[in-house]
Chains A and B, each alone.
Chain A
Amino acid sequence: GEDVEQSLFLSVREGDSSVINCTYTDSSSTYLYWYKQEPGAGLQLLTYIFSNMDMKQDQRLTVLLNKKDKHLSLRIADTQTGDSAIYFCAESIEGNFNKFYFGSGTKLNVKP
């Protein structure tokens, strides 16, 4: 089956940039997503990228996609303590209705 992998933890200082990485196995991915989960809450879509794009920027967020290496990253510029959360990478696959495959999540800890 589809396999989406992420590192489990990342710790940065407030004001630094954070880079969260994700690898996936299915080359027929249509969309790749980043979701954010704050403590005790559901998942909230942060951003997504279509698989024929290399980069997408949205304010402090930059998504980079290396389709050849099946590698997706999320860069958060000027990381704030409010960015502390778990970040999930997910993919959906063409022709498989809207099935989403999630990574295990990366817990981002932002130190003041």
Chain B
Amino acid sequence: NAGVTQTPKFRVLKTGQSMTLLCAQDMNHEYMYWYRQDPGMGLRLIHYSVGEGTTAKGEVPDGYNVSRLKKQNFLLGLESAAPSQTSVYFCASTMGRSTEAFFGQGTRLTVV
């Protein structure tokens, strides 16, 4: 079982560049999330989706966009990367009112 897969695992961007992080889950989960993890700050929710074709803002949405065109995929886009977006990004998914969120392995992004 693949679970939740994130690509890429590492990336270095220059300020102003754009990129898309891909999250794919093979568990038929309804809910998907993008978090960022920064030292001493835990995980903060960027955007989330409660189903195919729907997205919503989390705690720290500025500078990011998302799309959920297919149920199994949740894309996180950075249109113009900034050094403040240097972080580790985690995707997660849950099935409805499940008690467990399944996490991907993370994407370490550095913006220089």
Binding site for B on A (CB under 8 A): 1, 4, 8, 31, 33, 35, 40-45, 48, 88, 92, 97-100, 102-105
Contact = CB atoms under 8 A, between A and B. Distances in A.
A92 B41 CA distance: 18
Contacts of A41: 105-106
Nearest to B59: A1
A31 B99 contact: yes
Given A1-B59, A99-B48, A45 B100 contact: yes
Contacts of B43: 43, 88, 100, 102
A1 to B, nearest CB: 7
Interface residues of B, number: 26
Closest 4 CB pairs between A and B? A42-B103, A104-B42, A102-B42, A102-B43
B58 to A, nearest CB: 8
Contacts of B45: 99-100
Contact of A98 (B59, B90, B98, B103): B98
B50 interface: yes
B24 to A, nearest CB: 14
Given A43-B90, A88-B42, A103-B42, A97 B31 contact: yes
B100 A48 contact: yes
B94 A44 contact: no
Contacts of B4: 42
